[in-house]
Amino acid sequence: MTTKLLTALLLGTSILGSAGVANAADVTLNIESWRGDDLAIWKDKLIPAFEAKNPGIKVVFAPSAPTEYDAALGAKLAAGSAGDLITCRPFDKSLELFKKGNLADLSALPGMENFSPVAKSAWQTDDGKASFCVPMASVIHGFIYNKDAFDKLGIKVPQTRDEFFAALDKIKADGTYIPMAMGTKDLWEAATMGYQNIGPNYWKGEDGRAALIKGDQKLTDKDWVAPYEELAKWKPYLGDGFEAQTYPDSQNLFTLGRAAIYPAGSWEIGLFNTQAQFKMGAFPPPVEKAGDTCYISDHTDIGMGLNAASKNADAAKTFLSWVASPDFATIYANALPGFFSLNSAPVKMADPLAQEFVSWRGKCKSTIRSTYQILSRGTPNLENETWVESANVINGTDTPEAAAKKLQTGLDSWYKPAK
């Protein structure tokens, strides 16, 4: 790690140094990030594309390890040595930085109009008045299926819940494939790929989420219990011993071709493309009746903000406006299939599976995971409890009603909605 850091520093200074020689007026922007995996994409694709259009501004991408990022960034911000541009975690972590005055208000930044309110919600104050990060990417939930298996069994892609369960019954009756690859051992699969995946269709996406935060709806309401009732019905379609099946087990089960349907997040696309030997397709969470409005979880994951103490604020804003542009979105989304640009402008992607996922944005309404904004600030933590209860419901150790009641009681104990 130290050597890496040292190399990065040396590299940084050498670039700085040579830039100084080449053109005294050049401005160098440093990007703080935890996405070390993306280093090559930034260096080879994104930064050259930006620098070609904006001579005079140099950009250096300087990532640190994900587990160290928050602490290191905090220390650097306090010492005044942080980079000009800061990669933002969603929700409370970035909000805290903004409240401390470390992130600049970007509400008026040219390019922000390219994003929908849902996309911006992860980096806004609770009242939605100030935005402080440009949304970069999100992940979408849905179901990935084994196309070969569907063809062999003559199953059409399900649109409605009845069709969905009919398809599962058919796969189960045939017996060649495990109908659905999901386990409850790691808990979060049940919550993230289960509850948050199918839930938005029941609680009507943003409407329900906003009502929950306002206190107009409760987790014990019909719309919030119903997804648990559906989850409880999944149990017979999961593989043998799903209670001890871990997340990597589920991934392997599907990519080895032993399971037909995988409740997924779009971040799987990159891995599945390299591992699966069969054709894959994807469908959004089925709705109740054909023609119903569909809702998808299009969860904001990563953004970029401006260090309030940056000396190169103007150049940094130019860069952020470019990050908000469709140009950036196209390069980024194609380099990382499964991490979708949040830009309202349609982005052309080469990967067919990624295209399928992103096409749902056109016909369905987007929302984010219900537990992430505001509601997971207290004890007990709603997100963690949702993991536990979702797994309980699928395991059959808790009824949907009991699970919902536990969650609401926990939430009530610390959360008082602003009336």
Partner 1 sequence: MAAEIRPKRPFRWHIGVFLAPAVLVYTAIMILPLAGTLQLSLFRNIEQHQVFVGLENFRTLFGDPNWSVNFWNALRNNTWFFIIHMLVQNPIGVMLAALLSSPRLRFSAFYRTAIFVPTILSFVIVGFAWKLILSPLWGVAPHLLDLVGLKSLFTPWLGKEEYALTALSLISVWQFVGIPMMLIYAALLSIPEEVIEAAECDGITGMSQFWKIKLPLILPSIGIISILTFVGNFNAFDLIYTAQGALAGPNYSTDILGTFLYRAFFGFQLQVGDPNMGAAIATMMFVIILGGVCVYLFLVQTRLRRYQF
Binding site for partner 1 (CB under 8 A): 92, 183-188, 239-246, 249, 252-253, 371-372, 376-377, 379-384, 387-388, 391-392, 395, 397-398, 410, 413-414
58 contacts 27 by C-beta, under 8 angstroms: yes
Comparing CB distances to partner 1, the nearer of 189 and 298 is 189
Q: How far is the CB of 398 from partner 1 (least distance, A)?
A: 8
Comparing CB distances to partner 1, the nearer of 125 and 395 is 395
Q: How many Å apart are CA 127 and CA 112, to the nearest integer?
A: 17
Comparing CB distances to partner 1, the nearer of 9 and 244 is 244
Q: How far is the CB of 230 from partner 1 (least distance, A)?
A: 20
Q: How far is the CB of 389 from partner 1 (least distance, A)?
A: 8
C-beta atoms surrounding 333 within 10 Å? 24
Comparing CB distances to partner 1, the nearer of 89 and 361 is 89
Comparing CB distances to partner 1, the nearer of 163 and 383 is 383
Q: How far is the CB of 369 from partner 1 (least distance, A)?
A: 10
Q: How far is the CB of 284 from partner 1 (least distance, A)?
A: 25
Residue-wise over 129-153: b if at least 16 C-beta within 10 A, else e? eebbbbbbbbbbbbbbbbebbbeeb
Q: How far is the CB of 204 from partner 1 (least distance, A)?
A: 23
Residues 6 or more apart from 99 whose CB is under 8 A from it? Answer: none
Comparing CB distances to partner 1, the nearer of 91 and 143 is 91
Comparing CB distances to partner 1, the nearer of 207 and 243 is 243
Q: How far is the CB of 409 from partner 1 (least distance, A)?
A: 9
- Which of 391-399's residues contact partners 24+ apart within 8 Å by CB, and which partners? 391/184, 391/187, 391/190, 391/191, 393/190, 393/228, 393/231, 393/232, 394/182, 394/184, 394/190, 394/194, 394/231, 394/232, 394/234, 394/235, 394/238, 394/242, 395/184, 395/235, 395/243, 396/232, 396/235, 399/232
Comparing CB distances to partner 1, the nearer of 170 and 185 is 185
Q: How far is the CB of 21 from partner 1 (least distance, A)?
A: 44
